Amino acid sequence: MKIGVITPYDSSNAGAFLQAYALKTVLEKNGNKVYYIKLRDEAQLKRFFLGNKKNIRSFISRYFFNRKKYHIFQEATRQAFDTIELKNIDEENLEAIIIGSDEVWNVNKEYYRQKCFYGIGYQVPKKIAYAPSCGTAKLEDYTNYEYIKEGMKELDAIFPRDEQTKGITEKLTNRKCETVLDPTLLVDLKGIKPNIEIKNNYLLVYGYSFNIKQQEYIKKFAKKHNCITLSVCIKHSWCDKNLNCSPLEFIEMIKNAQYVITKTFHGTIFSILNKKNFVTFKGSQKISDLLEKLMLSDRLIDENSCTYENFEKKLEEKINFNESHSVILRERERSLKELQEALE
């Protein structure tokens, strides 16, 4: 089957790339030919990676780091994905379109209010939404977007990634939906060895921003446990080392870390898959839902109600991943079955 995928595969974070790469891997294992729909040109991508010039000091301090990241990610994207221009979809004789995963239904972001994310504007025999997330959007945020509601109703199948998205989707479409796993949990992706060797033991940091208290906890723990603080793919001046790497190298960096501290959905997923000592600072609901589903809610830390001593104890303790990995295997089988049946 010739399948097109609409998702932010070319975003500036490793998780977006890896969810797209994982879905591609799953689909190709079943003999499908997979294309990713290109929504941004080179100029738009550069602006996306390099950041906003409104905060000129921040822009300048991160410019060279982000420019290098842009080139690394673009090369990884070129090697990983065959692409089709959005305007050419109807000429490519695609048999199915898959929308997702990631926050492709987060209407709080203008980018995700494009009609293509809701199956509108192209003629393809089958349109499926696999593991979309509404992100921070709530039901009332969709009030002014009637076309989104109508587009969702016309999709052949919808499989939300989380309970919040499931609830919103069911209300907007008046249809029952089954949640599924994020694509990164559907397959055991293999990382590749980074070009740069880290000789020190390191505590890997992965998140867009950390407040002062979180920084203090992280630096104190690392110093006490003889680790350097290493931020990957995101520059933090307070870390000992900042490293750019490709998304597949990112997997290996997590695998080789002594500890992982994250604030992201996919940082949490790859910590679990690699059975790392990790904690996730409390943030979005989708992370809370994920950890609850995998019976690892105790990995969620709120520094406002957690002393440093409890933080340290939590990060030091050995985690029993047996139950969570059993859930992953069980849900993986069900999710793959749902996807395959929707495509048939």
DSSP letters, 180-230, are ---GGGTS-PPP---SS---S-EEEEE-S---HHHHHHHHHHHHHTT-EEE
- Rounded CA-CA distance 199/226 in Å is 13
The phi, psi pair for 230, rounded to 5°, reads -125, 115
Q: Over the stretch 181-226, which tens digit does the pLDDT of each residue have?
A: 999 999 999 888 887 778 889 999 999 999 999 999 999 999 999 9
Burial of 177-199, coded b for 16+ CB within 10 Å and e otherwise, reads bebbbbbbbbbebebeebeeeee
Helices and strands (DSSP H and E) totals, the chain: 11, 12
- Rounded CA-CA distance 10/17 in Å is 6
323: Cβ contacts below 8 Å, ≥ 6 apart: 294, 295
User: Is the fold of 2-186+331-343 the same as that of 202-326?
Assistant: yes
- Rounded CA-CA distance 293/23 in Å is 21
CATH fold of the domain at 202-326: Rossmann fold (3.40.50)
Q: HSE, CB side, 13 Å, CA atoms: give it for residue 248.
A: 17
The separation between CA 51 and the C-alpha centre of its own chain, rounded to angstroms, equals 19
Contact 32, 342 (CB under 8 A): no
Sheet hosting strand 241-243, strand order edge to edge: 241-243, 228-232, 202-206, 259-262, 278-281, 300-301
333: Cβ contacts below 8 Å, ≥ 6 apart: none
Q: Which amino acid is at 79?
A: Q
Hey, where are the domains in the chain?
A: 2-186+331-343, 202-326
So what's the pLDDT on residue 45? 84
> Which token pair is 6?
């609409």
> Which token pair is 228?
């350097």
Contact 202, 31 (CB under 8 A): no
Q: Which amino acid is at 324?
A: S
Please list the pLDDT of the chain residue by residue as tens digits (344 residues). 999 999 999 988 899 999 999 999 999 999 999 999 999 888 888 887 877 776 777 777 778 888 999 999 999 999 999 999 999 999 999 999 999 889 999 999 999 999 999 999 999 999 999 999 999 999 999 999 999 999 999 999 999 999 999 999 999 999 999 999 999 999 999 888 887 778 889 999 999 999 999 999 999 999 999 999 999 999 999 999 999 999 999 999 999 999 999 999 999 999 999 999 999 998 788 899 899 999 999 999 988 888 999 999 999 999 999 999 999 999 999 999 999 999 98
Query: Which CATH number is associated with domain 2-186+331-343?
Result: 3.40.50
pTM equals 0.93
Q: Over the stretch 167-182, which tens digit does the pLDDT of each residue have?
A: 999 999 999 999 999 9
Helix (H) / strand (E) containing 254: helix 247-255
